[in-house]
């Protein structure tokens, strides 16, 4: 039996190493399969899991939650609040990743928001959500909203920056650490 030439052996080893290089570079990455066949959202199942952020995910800057003013006099000085990038309308449910974000609602002083707030007030209170009123003209309008959801702190806040950060165009909406829904 003849021995292979050392140059031939080195070339074979090099080919084997080069063939395995693309596989080795992907060994630590998770497999991501994306396909959409329609149907219903899986968001309620993900929310029930209370998912934690990935250990190797890059740190994202936190989305600040505005403080609720200390006194009603402060609020009167803030009014009227008008957010030109947000209007009443339909909000499509979608998943977001914002670990540690306190749940909050985005509403206005309009019929759709009042009905939504009355329907969802108990759930908002149970989640410890705050309400950001992004379109309200008067102190009376803000007070009327507060009577619809007792125990849910509501604050008048300009929402254009928030709309840009979240890609949100309509309200009423609930934003949590894992999703946006109406």
Domain interval for residue 136? 76-181
94: which strand partners? 180
Tokens of 42: 């899986």
**Do 108 and 117 meet the contact criterion of CB atoms below 8 Å apart?**
no
CB 50, CB 97: distance < 8 Å:
no
Instruction: For residue 28, tell me if it sits in a domain.
Output: no
pLDDT of residue 71: 60
For range 87-98, the mean pLDDT: 94
Stretch 151-161: mean pLDDT, rounded?
A: 95
Total domain count, the chain? 1
The token duo for 176 is 């949590």
Residue 40 lies in a domain: no
Q: Assign residue 177 the CATH number of its domain.
A: 3.40.30
Quick check: is 107 in a domain? yes
Does 43 reside within a domain? no
Does a structural domain hold residue 14? no
Q: How far is 175 from 172, CA to CA, in rounded Å?
A: 10
Q: How far apart are CA 149 and CA 158, in angstroms?
A: 20
pLDDT tens per residue across span 16-67: 555 555 555 555 666 666 666 666 666 666 666 666 666 676 666 766 666 6
Supply the pLDDT for residue 75: 77
What's the pLDDT band for 129 if we cut at 50, 70, 90?
Answer: very high
List the Cα angle 98/181/117 in 5-degree steps.
115
Q: Provide the whole-model pTM.
A: 0.62
| Model pLDDT, residue 54 | 65
Does position 104 have pLDDT exceeding 60, yes or no?
A: yes
Quote the CA–CA distance of 101 and 49 in Å, as a whole number.
Answer: 16
Mean pLDDT of 85-112: 95
pLDDT at 162 (0 to 100): 93
Quickly state the pLDDT bin for 69 (edges 50, 70, 90). Answer: low
Q: Could you tell me if residue 50 is inside a domain? A: no
- Cα–Cα distance for residue pair 167/25, rounded to 1 Å: 34
pLDDT of residue 76: 84
């Amino acid at each position: 039996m003849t021995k292979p030439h050392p140059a031939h052996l080195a070339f074979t080893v090099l080919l084997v190493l080069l063939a395995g290089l693309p596989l080795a570079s992907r060994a630590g990455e998770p497999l991501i399969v994306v396909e959409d066949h329609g149907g219903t959202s899986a968001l309620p199942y993900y929310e029930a899991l209370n998912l934690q952020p990935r250990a190797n995910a890059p740190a994202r800057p936190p989305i600040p939650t505005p403080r609720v003013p200390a006194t009603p006099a402060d609020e009167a000085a803030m009014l009227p609040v008008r957010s030109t990038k947000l209007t009443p309308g339909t909000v499509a449910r979608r998943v977001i990743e914002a670990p540690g974000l306190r749940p909050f609602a985005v509403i206005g002083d309009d019929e759709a928001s009042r009905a939504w707030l009355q329907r969802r007030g108990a759930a908002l209170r149970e989640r410890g959500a705050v309400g950001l009123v992004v379109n309200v003209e008067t102190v009376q309008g803000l007070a009327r909203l507060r009577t619809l959801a007792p125990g849910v702190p509501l604050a008048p806040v300009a929402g254009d920056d928030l709309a840009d950060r979240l890609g949100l165009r309509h309200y009423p909406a609930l934003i949590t650490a894992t999703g946006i829904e109406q």
